[in-house]
Amino acid sequence: MTSSYGIEGHGLDGRAAVVTGGTRGIGRAVAERLAGAGVLVCVTARDAEEVRRAAEELGGVGLAGDVGDPDHPRAVTELALRAFGRIDVVVNNAATNQPYGPLMEADPGAWRRAFQVNVEAPLRLVQCAWRAWLREHGGSVVNICTEGAGHAGPNVGAYGTSKAALLHLTRQLAGELAPKVRVNSVSPGLVRTEMARFVWEPGERQLAAGLPLGRIGEPDDVARAVVWLASDAAGWITGADLLVDGGTGVRTAYPGPGYAVDDRLRSYAPPRS
Ligand SMILES: NC(=O)c1ccc[n+]([C@@H]2O[C@H](COP(=O)([O-])OP(=O)(O)OC[C@H]3O[C@@H](n4cnc5c(N)ncnc54)[C@H](OP(=O)(O)O)[C@@H]3O)[C@@H](O)[C@H]2O)c1
């Protein structure tokens, strides 16, 4: 199948993928693009009704659960294999941006949870998929990191540190699993999703003006990059991180107004849970 971008026919038709956090935002856009390319898709998320709905709309299957639950990756792998008989693509997308705040105040349990969800869960899912299918048949893994992992930022220390660990995990796995399995990451800048709503909603026009490409990202901007990396079009790429950030990383050379994301992060007070 060929889309208007002409990228999705690169050998993906008839393959199978697992996309964690595939019910909304970036994960949903990835799942839609994969399904549009003829891929059999298994999505996960915690909200069971959303999982059921997404799986139905995508013509795939889904499993409700928390990626941080040690049994979840095995259950997802078993479901995908049972339903499709194969797992060619793993997209580790589900994540948490908690605990929010200065690291000196970070609760140890919440800190561990950030690493459990953002680092350990991707590894465990790749381990399960490797043993069940990838080791013998090959495939590709795409981890969703963040542009922010490359620098420090106000109140996002746990998120940034865990995503930086995921970047390293990506490179380590790329070396260990080659040549059969390619492992890459995509690092988005600010994207219009629920997770980042507290950053973009209070003044999107001002934020966009500070970006070289003049707008914040849409989930599909990221999805197209993920699908390309997962496909045979990227067949000689492994251990790479693809920035999809509208130029966020080069903004200091951009002659527009300053970028207001750090001000938002500094002033945001999360609701008490
Ligand atoms: N949006 C941005 O600006 C931005 C920027 C850089 C990187 N990213 C990265 O992009 C990825 C997707 O984020 P997003 O912005 O699309 O977020 P989102 O719109 O909030 O969607 C998150 C998805 O993950 C699921 N999820 C969350 N926690 C989970 C858990 N513990 N177990 C299983 N599923 C879970 C959610 O469903 P349930 O709530 O039902 O579980 C939902 O399907 C993340 O890795 C994030 O770090 C986002």
**50 CB under 6 A from ligand 1?**
yes
Contact in structure between 268 and 214 (CB atoms under 8 Å): no
The predicted structure's pLDDT at residue 86: 98
Q: What is the pLDDT confidence band of residue 211, given thresholds at 50, 70 and 90?
A: very high
**46 CB under 6 A from ligand 1?**
yes
CA separation for the pair 204, 192 (Å, rounded): 10
In this structure, the residue with its CA closest to atom 47 of ligand 1 is: 95
Give the residue numbers marked as catalytic.
Answer: 159
Stretch 134-157: mean pLDDT: 97
Count of residues in the chain: 273
**190 CB under 6 A from ligand 1?**
yes
Stretch 222-250: mean pLDDT: 97
Q: State the closest ligand 1 atom to the C-alpha of 147, by its place in the atom list counted from 1.
A: 6
pLDDT in tens, 252-270: 999 888 888 888 888 888 8
258 versus 145: the higher-pLDDT residue is: 145
136 C-alpha to ligand 1 centroid (Å): 30
**193 CB under 6 A from ligand 1?**
yes
Buried-exposed string 172-202: b where 16+ CB fall within 10 A, e elsewhere: ebbeebeeebbbbbbbbbbbbbeebebbbee
The predicted structure's pLDDT at residue 4: 41
Burial class (CB in 10 A: 0-12, 13-18, 19+), 240: middle
**For a pocket test of ligand 1, which of 93, 124, 145 has the largest count of ligand atoms closer than 8 A to its C-beta?**
93
pLDDT value at 273 more than 70? no
**93 CB under 6 A from ligand 1?**
yes
CA separation for the pair 261, 207 (Å, rounded): 7
Domains in the chain (CATH in brackets) are 16-266 (3.40.50.720)
Q: What is the mean pLDDT of the chain?
A: 94
Residue carrying structure tokens 């106000």: 154
11 C-alpha to ligand 1 centroid (Å): 27
CA separation for the pair 141, 20 (Å, rounded): 12
pLDDT in tens, 53-107: 999 999 999 999 999 999 999 999 999 999 999 999 999 999 999 999 999 999 9
pLDDT value at 147 more than 60? yes
Helix or strand holding residue 158 (H, E) = helix 157-177
The predicted structure's pLDDT at residue 258: 82
Q: 99 preceded by cis ω (within 30°)?
A: yes
Give the percent of the chain with pLDDT over 70.
Answer: 96
pLDDT value at 159 more than 90? yes
Contact in structure between 237 and 229 (CB atoms under 8 Å): yes
**122 CB under 6 A from ligand 1?**
no
Helix or strand holding residue 188 (H, E) = strand 181-188
**For a pocket test of ligand 1, which of 26, 147, 162 has the largest count of ligand atoms closer than 8 A to its C-beta?**
26
50 versus 203: the higher-pLDDT residue is: 50
Burial class (CB in 10 A: 0-12, 13-18, 19+), 221: buried
In this structure, the residue with its CA closest to atom 39 of ligand 1 is: 46
